[in-house]
Amino acid sequence: MPTLKEAVKPLIPRELWDKVPRSFDIIGSRSGAVAIIEIPPELEGYKFVIGEAIVKLNKHVKAVIRRIGAREGEFRLYRYEVLVPGPTEVIHKEDNYLIKVDPTKAYFSPRDQGDREDIARQVMPGEVILYPFAGVGPYAITILKRQSSVKLIIAIELNEYAYYYMLDNIKLNRLKGKVLPLLGDASKLMNLFCGVDRIILTLPLGAHRFLMQSLMCIKDGGIIHFYHLGTEENPYGEAEGLVRNYCGDLGYDCQVINRRIVRDYAPYVYKVRLDIRVGKF
């Protein structure tokens, strides 16, 4: 199958060929998908040509939308421009599970799949997990599909659309009774569930505001997965500094047992993850 660049070459001037994006996200499955692409300003006049080419190359893609700017607001959503109109609510198939989502209404990124799998591999039978920025629930689903003996995942989400998709996803993946979905502000709800084995803080642009609360809430010996942003020169420096300071203030013995660059976030900026074992005595 030709690449996007090969497909649009006959339709756009030669000097713009190098500006054609090499990749784009597809969310969905064979029954229907939405493609999400970033198009540079130089290709403004050819954006619809590019959208049509994506649909021709990927028969299951029914809609193409263009990302505008960076993720914004509490719900961490992009603004989009429609290039090929069609349904944007899709059922994404990943490994052996399904994720229903409309990416224009709720956060979801197929690029986080590797990270979800990496966390799921660490989870042990019988764990109780607090998942405060749950979105449509993909970490809970990935964990439970790999480790069905987890006792409970408490999944908190502020965006109503994401919360209702999470409810659908619990049903779709037959996980009723294993996830406690809650609609609300994590800063108010987290403290009701202290003493858990693991906390997953998937909010790279704000998880640090919940780190102190999480450290106090986790059980002795529990694990916190802390997401943050880091520069290319020193990806973990700021995240580790925050952990050191908060743990120092509380008198806890925090060990960073794992560091991971999850993926690119912006030019020269990474989304990173620290896995922290918290010793309290």
Residue 75 found at the interface with ligand SAM (CB under 6 A) = yes
Residue 158 found at the interface with ligand SAM (CB under 6 A) = yes
* 179-183 vs 90-94, strand pairing mode: unpaired
Range in contact with ligand SAM (rule: CB under 6 A) among 3-11, 18-26, 80-88, 130-138: 130-138
Residue 133 found at the interface with ligand SAM (CB under 6 A) = yes
When CB distances to ligand SAM are compared, the closest residue is 135
Beta-carbon count within 10 A of 242 CB: 17
Range in contact with ligand SAM (rule: CB under 6 A) among 21-29, 58-66, 73-81, 120-128: 73-81
Query: What's the CA gap between 28 and 31, in Å, rounded?
Result: 8
Calculate ∠ Cα 207-212-217, nearest 5°.
105
Is residue 83 within 8 A of residue 47, CB to CB? The reply is yes
Q: What tokens does 60 get?
A: 């299951």
Backbone angles phi, psi at 268, to 5 degrees: 65, 15
Residue 186 found at the interface with ligand SAM (CB under 6 A) = yes
Rounded to a whole number of angstroms, the minimum distance from the CB of residue 177 to ligand SAM is 21
Amino acid at 178: K
Residue 222 found at the interface with ligand SAM (CB under 6 A) = no
Residue 156 found at the interface with ligand SAM (CB under 6 A) = yes
Is residue 248 within 8 A of residue 215, CB to CB? The reply is no
Residues in the chain: 281
Q: Which is nearer to ligand SAM, 53 or 158 (CB)?
A: 158
Q: Which of 34, 46, 105, 112 binds ligand SAM (CB under 6 A)?
A: 112
Considering only residues 13-72, where is the footprint of ligand SAM by CB under 6 A? none
Q: Which is nearer to ligand SAM, 75 or 78 (CB)?
A: 75
Residue 226 found at the interface with ligand SAM (CB under 6 A) = no
Site string for ligand SAM, 78-107 (x = CB under 6 A): -----------------------------x
Rounded to a whole number of angstroms, the minimum distance from the CB of residue 51 to ligand SAM is 25
Query: What's the CA gap between 194 and 183, in Å, rounded?
Result: 18
Residue 163 found at the interface with ligand SAM (CB under 6 A) = no
Q: Does the CA dihedral 254-256-261-267 come out positive or negative?
A: positive
Q: Which of 46, 97, 139, 246 binds ligand SAM (CB under 6 A)?
A: 139
Residue 162 found at the interface with ligand SAM (CB under 6 A) = yes
Rounded to a whole number of angstroms, the minimum distance from the CB of residue 71 to ligand SAM is 8
Sheet-wide strand order for 61-72: 25-29, 32-37, 61-72, 77-84
Among candidate residues 105, 260, 113, 97, the one with its CA nearest the CA of residue 179: 97
Q: What tokens does 151 get?
A: 């006792």
- Name the residues that contact ligand SAM, by CB under 6 A: 74-76, 107-108, 112, 132-135, 138-139, 156-159, 162, 185-187, 202-203
